[in-house]
């Protein structure tokens, strides 16, 4: 892909096949990282909702008074401001979850989660690149 | 047989579990440690869904006035008993909902009775009861921000709003405060795709 003629294609991915694959910690209704399945499980109204690392753009932590906030941004169309939006989507006319923000009084935990998400993302991108290099 | 009882059940994502009892005229929930009981008359029940939740399985009850009651902590095998209860006493079928586990962030946001459902490949991924939404706004082109009512949990004093609001989004250690959706409009789709497609 060094020659720049590569056409980016969307590759399908899947977090889980069955609900017994969720980490047992989801019962605490908190954010759970599952590196083994390249997935982050987020609590939404009492339900564990998996998001594959491939859907995640980035995560950031901020503070406001005694609260810390963790914002997880997902990849969605129309985000490439001023540059070519070359992210492939299976269906760009679909509805997308673009971001989710949580708050907690445990700021250290959010710094740690944001850090882990960045690492997971970096590893996933690296793995993808290695796979591509092998195919070439 | 006039009462069917289930232990270790949580009401609307409560922190404390309690006992859930069903009778012909309705259902009730009482916290294990004592306190106010919650009751629901059978005539107000419109529909019921069964699904996997964070804490065991969830029975979601839709009332005629669009209010939603979530009871979680059930075991998988409780479904048989509940199916009989609902069929015999309330004349209702329990719809079993299998949620998407794909981990995708794209699908379809639908505004149903009582809640917003986000579906991935025709399977629900999650639902947001309207009662938990405190505000929505257009945050940008094709971007909708949904803010949730979160209870202050004793962190600040006053203005926590209605008593029942903010229960569900702030149920766990991580309180969900905002969700943003990208909803393409037919007139701006070409623009949103950056003419790339």
Residue A56's CATH number: 2.30.29.210
The confidence band for B186, taking pLDDT boundaries of 50, 70 and 90, is low
Q: Tell me, what's the pLDDT at B155?
A: 41
Quick check: is A83 in a domain? no
What is the distance between the alpha carbons of residues B32 and B19, in angstroms, rounded to a whole number? 6
Q: Is B15 exposed, middle or buried (0-12, 13-18, 19+ CB in 10 A)?
A: exposed
pLDDT digits (tens, 9 = 90+) for A43-101: 999 999 999 999 999 999 999 999 999 999 999 998 765 455 556 788 888 999 999 99
Q: Which helix (H) or strand (E) holds A97?
A: strand A95-104
Quick check: is A10 in a domain? no
Quick check: is A18 in a domain? no
What is the distance between the alpha carbons of residues B41 and A23, in angstroms, rounded to a whole number? 37
Who has greater pLDDT, A1 or B80? B80
Can you give the residue ranges of every domain in chain B? 4-96, 108-192
What is the distance between the alpha carbons of residues B97 and B47, in angstroms, rounded to a whole number? 13
The vertex-A98 CA angle with A96 and A104, nearest 5°, equals 135
Q: Tell me, what's the pLDDT at B160?
A: 34
Number of domains observed in the structure of chain A: 1
pLDDT digits (tens, 9 = 90+) for A24-57: 999 999 999 999 999 999 999 999 999 999 999 9
What would the CATH number be for the domain defined by B108-192? 2.30.29.220
For chain A, positions 43-72, list CB contacts with chain B under 8 A: 43-52, 54-55, 66-67, 69-70
Residues 6+ apart with CB under 8 A from A58: A72, A73, A117, A118, A121
pLDDT digits (tens, 9 = 90+) for B156-171: 333 333 345 557 988 8
Quick check: is A20 in a domain? no
In B, minimum Cα distance to A89 occurs at: B106
Residues 6+ apart with CB under 8 A from B104: A51, A52, A55, B120, B121, B125
- Record: contact B105-A80, CB cut-off 8 A: no
- Record: contact A66-B155, CB cut-off 8 A: yes
Structural domain harbouring A53:
27-78+93-135
Chain A touched by B191 (CB under 8 Å): yes
- Record: contact A55-B105, CB cut-off 8 A: yes
Chain A touched by B190 (CB under 8 Å): no
Average of per-residue pLDDT values in chain B: 88
What would the CATH number be for the domain defined by B4-96? 2.30.29.30
Task: Please state, for a pLDDT cut of 90, what percent of chain B lies above it.
Answer: 77
């Amino acid at each position: 892909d060094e020659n720049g003629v590569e056409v980016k294609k969307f590759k399908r991915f899947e977090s889980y096949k069955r609900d017994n694959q969720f980490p047992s910690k989801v019962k605490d209704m908190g954010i759970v990282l599952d590196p083994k399945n390249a997935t982050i499980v987020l609590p939404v109204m009492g339900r564990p909702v998996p998001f594959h690392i491939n859907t995640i753009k980035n995560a950031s932590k901020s503070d406001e008074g005694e609260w810390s906030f963790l914002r997880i941004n997902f990849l969605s169309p129309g985000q490439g401001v001023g540059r070519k939006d070359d992210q492939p989507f299976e269906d760009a006319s679909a509805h997308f979850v673009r971001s989710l923000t949580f708050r907690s009084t445990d700021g250290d935990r959010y710094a740690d989660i944001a850090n882990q998400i960045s690492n997971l993302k970096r590893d996933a991108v690296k793995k993808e690149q290695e796979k591509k290099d092998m195919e070439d | 047989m006039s009462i069917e009882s289930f232990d270790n059940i949580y009401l609307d994502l409560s922190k404390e579990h309690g006992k859930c009892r069903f009778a012909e005229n309705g259902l009730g929930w009482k916290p294990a440690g004592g306190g106010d009981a919650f009751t629901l008359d059978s005539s107000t029940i419109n529909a019921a869904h069964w699904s996997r939740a964070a804490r065991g399985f969830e029975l979601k009850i839709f009332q005629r006035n669009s209010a939603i009651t979530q009871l979680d902590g059930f075991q998988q095998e409780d479904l048989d008993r509940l199916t009989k209860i609902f069929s015999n006493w309330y004349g209702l079928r329990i719809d079993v909902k299998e949620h998407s586990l794909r981990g995708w962030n794209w699908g379809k946001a639908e505004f149903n009775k009582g809640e917003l459902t986000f579906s991935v490949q025709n399977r629900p991924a999650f639902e947001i009861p309207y009662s938990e939404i405190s505000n929505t706004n257009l945050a940008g082109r094709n971007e909708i921000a949904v803010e949730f009512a979160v209870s202050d949990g004793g962190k600040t004093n006053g203005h926590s709003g209605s008593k029942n609001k903010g229960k569900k989004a702030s149920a766990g250690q991580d309180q969900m405060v905002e969700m943003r959706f990208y909803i393409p409009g037919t007139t701006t789709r070409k623009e949103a795709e950056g003419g790339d497609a």
